[in-house]
Amino acid sequence: MAVAAAAGRRHHVSVVSCILLLLLVSFILSESQEDDKVVVSVYYEALCPYCANFIVKHLVKIFQTDLINIVNLRLVPWGNTHITINNTWICQHGVDECRLDVVEACAINLLPTLQSQFEFIYCVERLHLMNKHAQTQWPSCFQPDHATVLQSCYNTALGFQLEKAYSDETTNLQPPHRFVPWVLVNGYPLQEDFLNFASYVCNAYRGYNIPDTCKSSTSSNLPIN
């Protein structure tokens, strides 16, 4: 019986060891896949028609295809806004744009997933494209469980602190942005070719899980490597 008990313990230890090894391998693979992701940074402003068109009709394709599996998407709502010497914010499309930029900064930083963040911003920008006065109708884009946290952020100093950080980031871009939307793929500015961002993403990806979207993409002549 002692021999049987010892064998049972060895078997139990072996099973536990295998499970731990599998968990470790899974963790390493997961971390590797995250490291392989291509960073897409979009510098924009809330009431810019070109930005809204890009987000609603083009950038959304990241989520409609398997491209999302290799992309780390960053949205930066500041754009061409500037700060005067008396610390006044001057937004290109007026004070309503300043407010919506803050709202979207709150969504980016406080909503729990990239999907929920983008869904909110997509909704706001789609309202603008549809001429539905996004400045007043943006609360209709809330999910019920997100309303309180976003309203609290918008109505306190937190929203403006988040937006000021985006201001600093946009101001420090090298080369400086010349227009919006200003799109970077792994730090490379696409400039006027931003609508072709998916091909740049595919060309920049160095992982092994190549999305089907990239397998049909013509990206060999793009400058990112």
Instruction: Report the Cα 63 to chain-centroid distance in Å.
Output: 11
The yes-or-no verdict on residue 100 having pLDDT over 80 is yes
pLDDT digits (tens, 9 = 90+) for 131-144: 988 778 888 998 88
pLDDT digits (tens, 9 = 90+) for 162-172: 999 999 999 99
Contacts 24+ apart (CB under 8 A), 220-224: 223/188, 224/185, 224/186, 224/188, 224/200
Residues 6+ apart with CB under 8 A from 219: 199, 200, 202, 203
26 versus 175: the higher-pLDDT residue is 175
Q: pTM to 2 decimals? A: 0.82
Decide if 186 contacts 224 (C-beta within 8 A).
yes
Structure-derived torsion over alpha carbons of residues 75, 78, 79, 83, reported in degrees to the nearest 10: -160
With CA atoms as reference, report the closest residue to 102 among 33, 27, 157. 157
Residue with tokens 């010892």: 6
